[in-house]
Amino acid sequence: MEVLIKEIETSLNVAEIYAHFNSRNNIMLDSSKEDKELSKFSFIGVNPFLIFKWFGEFGEIIKDEEIEKFESDPLEKLRELTEAYKIEIDNKIPLVSGTIGYISYDYGKRIEGIEGVSKKNIEIPEIYFVFYDNIIVKDLSENKTFVTSRGILKDRKISIKEIEDKIHKITKTKDEKFNFNTNKFISNFYKEDYLKAISRMKDYIVDGHIYIANMTQNFCCENSEDSFYTYRKLREINPAPFSAYMNLDGFEVISSSPERFLKLNNRGKVETKPIKGTRKRGKTPEEDEKNRRELENSEKDKAELLMIVDLERNDLSKVCKPHSVKVEELFKIEEYSTVFHLVSKIVGELREKEDIFSLLKATFPGGSITGAPKLRAMEIIHELEKLERGLYTGSIGYIDFRGNSDFNIVIRTIIKQKDKAYFGVGGGITYDSLEESEYEETLDKGRALMKVL
């Protein structure tokens, strides 16, 4: 069945539209920090017709109010499902019909064969994808809005008209005045224990086990405010190119991620953009420029990023054509509301018969949030961190039924369940890391999240 695509007239941004489509299992991928290279499109998935969940030992496929359980490889099962809805349509919009969801870091441990389960602070599926009959698309580069329909749940023209009519009835509101309250945040680490864990990680580096590893802590607080209100606050103070709001079964995900994990187009071109290196923004233009230059000239941060670039090149080479993997950008500074980041860009071309699923198996989880060598770094992370990471440092993104995909790294992300909010922060540890500085860097990264909570 072909996809119908219609352009509609509206001056609303994607978050203003989503506010009126915010129901269970509708997901928004929001390029809230507009960037000509990174964030050309935002998407809202509406009218789900299939929900895919993986819980670690078994999975569920929910369709037509029936639940099919399975125990086979979840990515293979997801591949089967996307193949069943495969389409061919020539359009520059990268997502016109497809599925949106996430893969948690904990599933990456299964890919790498890391045994044992740490304590969990929240119970959510390891993998969660929603298949949509309709996608609302914001083309940010041309300031256009489109609605697509597959016609699975309802006639294509009828479903598009219903969505169009609903959007046209939305009244544009004045700029919101947000309330920011104080709150008490509890980490899964006492500060001295976190410093000891960093010191132990450095011992592993000195002993030759690893070159770099990512150490994280997880914060929790009481928070009973509306989750989408929290998202709008975060969008206001910390816009990011790979933001997302997910209203899922029993929990919500509020993400303001600056980092792309994987982008794949249907011609097989793949891209990853790891981040390593952070400095907080200055309080004055002079301090801001000083901090930027400090990051730009930091040999330590460049060395960290270079190690991750080598890891990502190696991972991509497992599924890419020989000699196609190249570093297009090595040490680029990107600006965000609270921090500067040091970023690289690696590209490649997939071999014939490879796809997003084999690409994910070869590269997931991302090297920037694990370390190098990846497997040993993940084993040490499993030993030293006190909690399962869950969705934190996993990936949120989409799979278009023509083969396009785009996934972020889940950082700067809050998970809300009942009246509690959870988020993780961390950083890369090398042999010359200073424990106190690394601890403070995690707080810099969490500042925007703490402010909105």
**Which positions ≥6 away from 298 have C-beta within 8 Å?**
277, 342
Per the rule left: phi > 0, alpha: psi between -120 and 50, beta: everything else, 442 is: alpha
* Residue labelled with tokens 């961190």: 385
> Does the annotation count 276 as an active-site position?
yes
Instruction: Please say if 321 is a catalytic residue.
Output: no
182 domain residue, yes or no? no
In a domain? residue 401? yes
The whole-number pLDDT of residue 35 equals: 64
Is position 357 within any domain?
yes
- Here the CATH number for the domain that contains residue 89 is 3.60.120.10
Structure confidence by residue, pLDDT tens digits, 76-124:
999 999 999 999 888 999 999 999 999 999 999 999 999 877 788 899 9
Asked if the structure places residue 442 within a domain, the reply is yes
Please give the mean pLDDT across all residues of the chain.
93
Residue in this structure with the two tokens 């809230």, named with its chain if needed: 32
Q: For the chain, how many structural domains are there in total? A: 1
173 belongs to a structural domain = no
State residue 133 phi and psi, 5-degree precision.
-80, -30
Tens digit of each residue's pLDDT (9 = 90 or more) over 45-85? 999 999 999 999 999 999 999 999 999 999 999 999 999 99
Domain around 204: 4-165+189-452
Taking the complete model, does pTM exceed 0.85, yes or no?
yes
Average the pLDDT over 162-178 and give the result: 85
**CB environment 64-83: b (16+ within 10 A), e (fewer):** eeeeeeeeeebbebbbebbe
Question: What pLDDT is stored for residue 2 in this prediction?
Answer: 87
3-state SS assignment for residue 276? strand
pLDDT at 305: 92
Q: Considering the domain boundaries, does residue 92 fall inside one? A: yes
* 437: Cβ contacts below 8 Å, ≥ 6 apart: none
pLDDT in tens, 25-45: 999 999 977 666 667 899 999
Region of poorest pLDDT, from 161-175, 355-369, 411-425: 161-175
| Catalytic one of 252, 259, 304, 349 | 259
Is 127 domain-assigned?
Answer: yes
Strand, helix or coil at 35?
coil
Which residue is catalytic, options 33, 138, 276, 345? 276
pLDDT per position as a tens digit, 223-265: 999 999 999 999 998 899 999 999 999 999 999 999 999 999 9
DSSP characters over 345-397: EEEEEBPTT--HHHHHHHHPSPGGGTEESHHHHHHHHHHH-SB--TTTTSEEE
How large a percentage of the chain has pLDDT more than 90?
82
Q: What pLDDT, on a 0 to 100 scale, did the predictor assign at position 34? A: 62
Q: Which of 98, 45, 132 is nearest to 356 (CA)?
A: 98
- Residue 168 pLDDT greater than 90, yes or no: yes
Assigned domain for 170 exists = no
Report the DSSP pairing between strands 127-139 and 41-54. Answer: antiparallel
> Which tens digit of pLDDT belongs to each residue from 293-340?
999 999 888 988 999 999 999 999 999 999 999 999 999 998 887 788
